[in-house]
Amino acid sequence: MYKPKMMINSQLVNSDTNEVLNVYCPVTNEIIGTIPKGSANDAHKALIAADKASKSWAKLSALARAQYIKELVKVMEDNKEHLAQILSKEHGKIISEALGEVEGSIGFLNYAIESSRRIEGDLINSEIQNETGIIERVPYGVTVGILAWNFPLALMARKIGNALVTGNTMVVKPPTETPLTVMTFGEMVSKTNLPKGVLNFVSGSGNEVGSKLVSDPLTKLVTLTGSTGAGRLLYKQAAENITVLRLELGGKAPFIVMEDANIDKAVEAAFISRFENCGQICTCNERMYIHEKIYDEFTDKLTKRISSIRVGDSFDPNSTMGPKVNKAEIEKLNQMINQASIDGMKILYDGKNEKYVPSLLKQYPNGNWFFPTLIEVNDNNNILMHEETFGPVLPILKIKSFDEALEYANDCDYGLSAYIFTNNYKNIMRITRELEFGEVYVNRRNGELLNGFHNGFKLSGVGGEDGKHGLQAYLQKKVVYLNYDI
């Protein structure tokens, strides 16, 4: 049983009520650990600690702050296998994907370290004689990082690295579904030389802990990765204090394949970009638009590729996809498929009919199993083409032209990521101007770069993460008019 404590002001503590929340393994639905059920008071204590540490932390040079982040990298590197095992147990992702997440987390922290030399301001010419204008980038102070359950460790690293190197302090709230890896890392951080209060970890419900962290006047900036519904709620909670928000929310990525595309390459990218992490990625391939001239060949090859998936225990070397994170997610997918059937659809492939499935269900009857499903829809009004599935269900629609694909792709409330496979240069250039998504993959699978920018349009969020633009999101501008006419 994992029983990590909260970390406030470098001290490991339980909730002030001593209550706990259970954490379940998606493979067996057995309790594998507990976390403190933090209260609003616990959240406020963490914010006080972060506020107290804020001024002295901001006074350090960025290079000095980077040295402390190097300690966090070493902690993660030294405990890579241990953290991956916890992550795999609590989330259900196969162990190779869990190890990949730890490696990715190290990458985020290292990028922040490298960025310590990239925090720059500007000089501006003044109309006034003997005067220079200085635009300095300064930290906000106390920041809050609220994490989604699909990549808890990576999302934590993505936020704390940039927040800390730019001179902010941070309070991290892990997701209640998958908190153990983040909270265990928090315990490890308490043993480093990181100054007290600079980084804090508070667990608990969004209704109590999350609400307090967002609405407290000590909080100056909140960065959330989560659902669009959560983003709407944060807007309301942050309104009283005009707290700055950076929100990466839901997505409904279109995947367009034109008649001139490299079909084999597109099939592989479509496969990985949908079924990696059991489809629980905000930038996943969520809906496909395939040109009629290649539709049959493409669907045949994609069906064959999907049939290679073996759903199973996260630690089984034969498993290529783990379970969904909880039963509620499975119920949501079943309801969407039922509605899609009413809207008009045909199942092209259903993974639950594979021969290995009965033995899996016999061995793990309580697992959160959902099997890969490929569905042909009749038109773009089908529920599967508009609402985020966040699971291994892939709808596909035959299209006649690039203009039709573009129109259907943009007919969506979300605007996080999109994909297109084509060798038509004109269409690619039109995509850069006309596709209403913040992140576009041309002729390749998903996976943003550390030095890129992860940014959503429309209901997919505001602000963004990664690269120099993500780094600058943790800094506010101060303008100084320096007059030396004595």
- Tokens in use for 162? 């940039």
Instruction: Verify whether residue 177 is a known catalytic residue.
Output: no
Instruction: Verify whether residue 248 is a known catalytic residue.
Output: yes
Catalytic residue among 278, 282, 284, 412: 282
End-to-end CA distance of the chain: 70
Nearest to 47 by CA among 150, 174, 147, 168: 168
Tell me the three-class secondary structure of 400-468, residue by residue: CCHHHHHHHHHCCCEECEEEEECCCHHHHHHHHHHCCCCEEEECCCCCCCCCCCECCEECCEECCECHH
Secondary structure of residue 325 in the 3-state scheme:
coil
Nearest to 237 by CA among 202, 211, 218: 211
Secondary structure of residue 125 in the 3-state scheme:
strand
- Tokens in use for 480? 């100084």
Helix and strand counts by DSSP (H, E) for the chain = 15, 22
The CA-atom distances, in angstroms, between 433 and each of 410, 428, 436, 440 are: 12, 9, 8, 11
- Tokens in use for 298? 């493409």
Pairing assessment for the beta strands 6-8 and 11-13 based on DSSP bridges: antiparallel
Catalytic residue among 90, 248, 376, 387: 248
Positions annotated as catalytic residues are 248, 282
